[in-house]
Amino acid sequence: MLTVTEIFASIQGETTWSGYPFAFVRLTGCNLRCRYCDTTYAYDGGEEFSPEEVVSRVAAFGIPRACVTGGEPLLQPEARVLVSALLDRGMEVLVETNGTVPLDPLDPRAIRIMDVKCPGSGEHGKMLWDNFRRLRDRDEVKFVIGSEEDYRYAVETVARERGGSRWTVLLSPAFGLLPPERLAGWMVGDGVDARFQLQLHKLVWGPDRRGV
């Protein structure tokens, strides 16, 4: 069984898939407590569903793309069953993970979106660095930036871990903490090989709206 906080359809607000309609499955539970977390409601609670029930609800939206997120979805072993079941239906599936749980058991057809925690999160020491070896070119690595220290940490991490890989790097200003123009200025000034992103869903529906 899976413990689920919410299942909903919305516009993807982040990653290179930003702007596409997606079905979202937010699983309950997280092993981190980031200072800027915007989904604290997913720490606990939730309802129990079988993977088959979740797939049925997702399919009802009629959207060919799904995002399995949290919390930290990979804390639940059945999350891997869910991901494979969605892929078996021919869907494109993103899995958002904080990088502290091994990626090896995850279906290789899924696209991994790994959110690496910077110092400003208060959780940057918990990263499972070997997960970088498990990324493919189609995967993406995200850094939420709350300060120049965070920015420098992200740039140094990419330089150290990327090697010859071609996974996409996403830099996102922490909502309400760092003015977007400041991060954009640093990136342009340094000629960083990364994609600047804003949380599109927060711009459309506001920062406190759930289920969008």
Q: What is the pLDDT along the chain (212 residues), one digit of tens a residue?
A: 999 999 999 999 999 999 999 999 999 999 999 999 989 999 999 999 999 999 999 999 999 999 999 999 999 999 999 999 999 999 999 999 999 999 999 999 999 999 999 999 999 999 999 999 999 999 999 999 999 999 999 999 999 999 989 999 999 999 888 999 999 999 999 999 999 999 877 777 766 677 65
Domain that holds residue 74: 2-205
Is there a domain that residue 7 lies in?
yes
H/E stretch holding 80 reads helix 78-88
What CATH number corresponds to the domain at position 195? 3.20.20.70
Is there a domain that residue 116 lies in?
yes
What is d(CA 94, CA 69) in angstroms, rounded to the nearest whole number?
8
What is d(CA 24, CA 57) in angstroms, rounded to the nearest whole number?
10
What is d(CA 77, CA 151) in angstroms, rounded to the nearest whole number?
33
Is there a domain that residue 212 lies in?
no
Q: Flag whether the pTM goes above 0.85.
A: yes
Structural domains counted in the chain:
1
CB 42 within 8 A of CB 26: yes
Is there a domain that residue 211 lies in?
no
**How many angstroms separate the first and last alpha carbons of the chain?**
24
Is there a domain that residue 179 lies in?
yes
